[in-house]
Chains A and B, each alone.
Chain A
Amino acid sequence: MEPLRIVESPVVVMPRDNMDTDQVIPARFLKVTDKVGLGAALFADWRYHSDGTPLPDFVLNRPEASKAQILVAGDNFGCGSSREHAAWAIRDFGFRVVISTSVADIFRNNALRNGILPVVVDPDVHAKLVASPGATVRVDLEQMTLTLPDGTQRTFAVDAFARHCLLNGVDEMGYLLAHKDAIAAFEEKR
């Protein structure tokens, strides 16, 4: 997994609450057997006409979105389906950080395993970010700080293990495999 330490980038703002993973990537794109190029399907039904031509006003179709690495989303982001394709699509589009007032449980796990940092902030910080589309925000995972467009700094909480894995690019499969003996002993004992 690609490590993540500091991300400094303009933010893309999608303030809608409860954006479910069916919006992040509609089910018809889940028939793939790999995870290549799913960024093209990110928010497909909001982003393209039914004939596939882009809707020019949609935020992800604006030129500045192509370089953005931080998505500011509404409350309860990523609810619904467990499809990891949602995380793959977000990462493939170029985002490394998703900021919201809350993030759904399964999406949070999927994001962390794909080098995406979900950052949960208070409503007042969120309101500032929502009011500043395109402004630059700095996320420092090592310090667990967020530097807002007005220069003020806020701290955020992140699970210690998730932080360790992201900072060092540790993948959990290798970690679990290293506990093979403990797992075998547990099976033996039951």
Chain B
Amino acid sequence: MDSSISNKPRTLFEKVWDAHCVRAQTADEPGILYIDLHLVHEVTSPQAFDVLRERGLPVSRPALTFATMDHSTPTTPRQPDGTWIFGDAQAEAQVRTLQRNCLDFGIELHALGDPGQGIVHVVGPEAGRTQPGMTVVCGDSHTATHGAFGALAFGIGTSEVGHVLATQCLLQRRPRTLAVRVEGRLRDGVTAKDLILALIAQIGVGGGTGHVIEYIGPAIRALSMEGRMTVCNMSIEAGARAGMIAPDETTFAWLKGRPGAPQGKAWEQALSAWRALPSDAAATYDREVVLDASRIEPMVTFGTNPGQAIPVTGLVPDPASCESASERSTLESALRYMGLRPGTPIGDVLVDVVFIGSCTNGRLSDLREAASVLRGRKVRARTLVVPGSRAVKAQAEVEGLDRVFLEAGAEWREPGCSMCIAMNGDRLEPGQACVSTSNRNFEGRQGRGGRTFLAGAGTAAASAIRGRIADPRQTYDAGENAGPAQGPTNREEG
């Protein structure tokens, strides 16, 4: 590295970026950025491998490439004859294409049934492959998740997947930096998911465009690794391609002993390098926003983008109170799609389906949180619990969480993206309302005509019991609100 660079106070992002510049950018040309870890899945890779074949190119660094399958894969159990029942023939062909590509190009693949299989953003960290200071990319916008470890991690398109396969590099312009400082402490019953939904509600779905976010402040430091992953995961929902959190003792404790993590003497060396990564005290950011964690309540979205979120105790906003015509029309079209009337308490919304899973909230701590709410109770809505990985599933079963879910009347599934993206057959029917722990409430995201209300795992589980959007801090008795709605609701209107 250039010594003139190292004297200037730098942010975490700048340190990682500088250390990976094969060639710095100029006014006329972007920089060449070296990639340490390339995660691959079945949906965004087939056309990239085709380009390699057309050009007669090998994969440049197969050892830095790690593949799994998650989007198109079934979450129903394997058949006694060892086969899987796919949503359709196209999904099965896509999975087989990945298997063939990994075999042909010498890439480590965690296929269906493999103990290392699962959602790519869950299994990468689990395997210890994601490490502080790395550059991590994947043909998937939720690659931002890996920034929780102090890595620079971002989603890329399929053309770029091809670039990384062929050269281990990307052409990149250096993004701007945005510090999100979260002061105070989250209150009891408020989680990392609520924090990130509150942030996006504040800065908007385009608020981070062109920037890499660094999450700083005491409320961030107090988060577990899993909570940090939930926060970084949804950076893209604010428009930021990447979100990062400086590594600390929480990070190191989580990584230590994982198969992909350095061992022995190499671990000690890695630790000393990682301890130098946090932003220098005098480093500056292009922008900074501040949130007070102690004011955040459990959040839920009411609209069709992740910025349209309110506290679970709140009312559906009124388009009449919007300042601009474009805001008004955005809100009006969202409420029309969601079948909601302005001023309705969000807690009146009747729930048809609850989805607990995804790269945002499909980890062990999320399942424990849901199970603690569901234990000894019965669900009133169809409830799918989909672990983020096979390892999460196995550990949940060791802890008996699967029994809690099944006894509550929920479905306990095989790992995958499932109803977050509805590519594998797990989907909503038109008009159904779903409280979902996933990351996107876009129109049709969980199935054409489906209505998604994003929330944390505790809120989702409480809503499953209540049959309406619920406050996870309340205890709901069986039978409460079982009768017809008191006021206008989504179902009457829909």
- CB within 8 Å of B: which residues of A? 16-18, 20, 22-23, 26-28, 30-35, 45, 50, 74-76, 79-84, 87, 102, 104-106, 109-110, 113-114, 159-161, 164, 172-173, 175-177, 179-180, 182-183, 186-187
| Complex contact B167–A76 (CB within 8 A) | no
8 Å CB contact of B442 from A23, A33, A110:
A23
| Complex contact A104–B32 (CB within 8 A) | no
In the complex where A33-B97, A102-B206, A173-B55 touch, is A87 in contact with B157 (Cβ < 8 A)? yes
| Complex contact B163–A176 (CB within 8 A) | yes
8 Å CB contact of B241 from A18, A31, A34, A106:
A106
8 Å CB contact of B44 from A20, A84, A164, A173:
A84
B305 CB, nearest partner CB in chain A, Å: 5
Beyond the given A22-B444, A45-B444, A83-B157, please list 10 additional residue pairs across the A-B interface where CB-CB is below 8 A. Answer: A20-B305, A31-B90, A32-B90, A33-B47, A33-B93, A45-B443, A50-B449, A82-B156, A84-B44, A187-B34
Most central of A18, A87, A102 by chain B CB within 10 Å: A18
Query: Once bound together, how far apart are the Cα atoms of A22 and B166, in whole Å?
Result: 28
| Complex contact B34–A183 (CB within 8 A) | yes
| Complex contact A16–B51 (CB within 8 A) | no
- A-chain residues with CB within 8 Å of residue B139 when the two chains form the complex: 82, 84
- Chain B, residues 96-108, CB within 8 Å of chain A (1/0): the string is 0100000000000
- A-chain residues with CB within 8 Å of residue B329 when the two chains form the complex: 16
- A-chain residues with CB within 8 Å of residue B171 when the two chains form the complex: 161, 172, 175-176
- A-chain residues with CB within 8 Å of residue B157 when the two chains form the complex: 82-84, 87, 106, 109-110, 113
- A-chain residues with CB within 8 Å of residue B43 when the two chains form the complex: 30-31, 83
| Complex contact A113–B159 (CB within 8 A) | yes
| Complex contact B333–A16 (CB within 8 A) | yes
Query: Once bound together, how far apart are the Cα atoms of A177 and B72, in whole Å?
Result: 32
Query: Once bound together, how far apart are the Cα atoms of A80 and B175, in whole Å?
Result: 18
| Complex contact A83–B44 (CB within 8 A) | yes
| Complex contact B205–A179 (CB within 8 A) | no
B72 CB, nearest partner CB in chain A, Å: 6
| Complex contact B239–A104 (CB within 8 A) | yes
Task: List 22 A–B pairs whose Cβ atoms lie within 8 Å, in order of A's numbering.
Answer: A22-B440, A26-B444, A28-B422, A31-B88, A45-B448, A74-B326, A82-B139, A84-B157, A87-B157, A104-B206, A109-B157, A113-B159, A160-B28, A164-B28, A173-B162, A173-B166, A177-B57, A177-B166, A177-B167, A183-B168, A186-B22, A187-B168
8 Å CB contact of A183 from B57, B93, B97, B169:
B169
8 Å CB contact of A20 from B51, B422, B442:
B442
- A-chain residues with CB within 8 Å of residue B292 when the two chains form the complex: none
A55 CB, nearest partner CB in chain B, Å: 13
B155 and chain A: residue at smallest CB distance: A82
Most central of A28, A32, A45, A74 by chain B CB within 10 Å: A28
B356 near A: Cβ within 8 Å? Answer: no
Query: Once bound together, how far apart are the Cα atoms of A13 and B378, in whole Å?
Result: 49
B439 and chain A: residue at smallest CB distance: A80
Interface residues on B, range: 35 or more
B27 near A: Cβ within 8 Å? Answer: yes
- Chain B, range 163-203, C-beta contacts under 8 Å to A: 163, 166-171, 173, 175
Query: Once bound together, how far apart are the Cα atoms of A160 and B93, in whole Å?
Result: 40
8 Å CB contact of B94 from A16, A31, A35, A175:
A31
Q: What 9 A-B pairs are tightest by C-beta distance, nearest first? A: A84-B157, A33-B46, A82-B155, A110-B157, A76-B206, A31-B90, A113-B159, A82-B141, A84-B158
Query: Once bound together, how far apart are the Cα atoms of A8 and B457, in whole Å?
Result: 51
A184 CB, nearest partner CB in chain B, Å: 10
A-B contact count (CB 8 A): 169
- A-chain residues with CB within 8 Å of residue B342 when the two chains form the complex: none
In the complex where A23-B443, A82-B156, A161-B30 touch, is A183 in contact with B239 (Cβ < 8 A)? no
- Chain B, range 13-60, C-beta contacts under 8 Å to A: 22-23, 27-30, 32, 34, 43-44, 46-47, 50-51, 55, 57
B119 near A: Cβ within 8 Å? Answer: no
Most central of B22, B27, B29, B166 by chain A CB within 10 Å: B22
Most central of A30, A159, A160 by chain B CB within 10 Å: A30
- A-chain residues with CB within 8 Å of residue B32 when the two chains form the complex: 176, 179, 182-183
- Chain B, residues 301-339, CB within 8 Å of chain A (1/0): the string is 000010000000000000000000010011001000000
- A-chain residues with CB within 8 Å of residue B421 when the two chains form the complex: 27
- B-chain residues with CB within 8 Å of residue A28 when the two chains form the complex: 422-423
Query: Once bound together, how far apart are the Cα atoms of A159 and B26, in whole Å?
Result: 11
- A-chain residues with CB within 8 Å of residue B205 when the two chains form the complex: 18, 76, 79
| Complex contact A79–B166 (CB within 8 A) | no
B326 and chain A: residue at smallest CB distance: A17
- B-chain residues with CB within 8 Å of residue A159 when the two chains form the complex: 30, 173
| Complex contact A176–B169 (CB within 8 A) | yes
A190 CB, nearest partner CB in chain B, Å: 8
Query: Once bound together, how far apart are the Cα atoms of A6 and B273, in whole Å?
Result: 50
Query: Once bound together, how far apart are the Cα atoms of A28 and B426, in whole Å?
Result: 11
8 Å CB contact of A161 from B23, B29, B90:
B29
8 Å CB contact of B326 from A23, A31, A75:
A75
B91 near A: Cβ within 8 Å? Answer: yes
B334 and chain A: residue at smallest CB distance: A18
Query: Once bound together, how far apart are the Cα atoms of A31 and B140, in whole Å?
Result: 14
B161 and chain A: residue at smallest CB distance: A84
| Complex contact A173–B445 (CB within 8 A) | no
B209 near A: Cβ within 8 Å? Answer: yes
| Complex contact B47–A180 (CB within 8 A) | no
In the complex where A27-B421, A159-B173, A182-B23 touch, is A106 in contact with B448 (Cβ < 8 A)? no
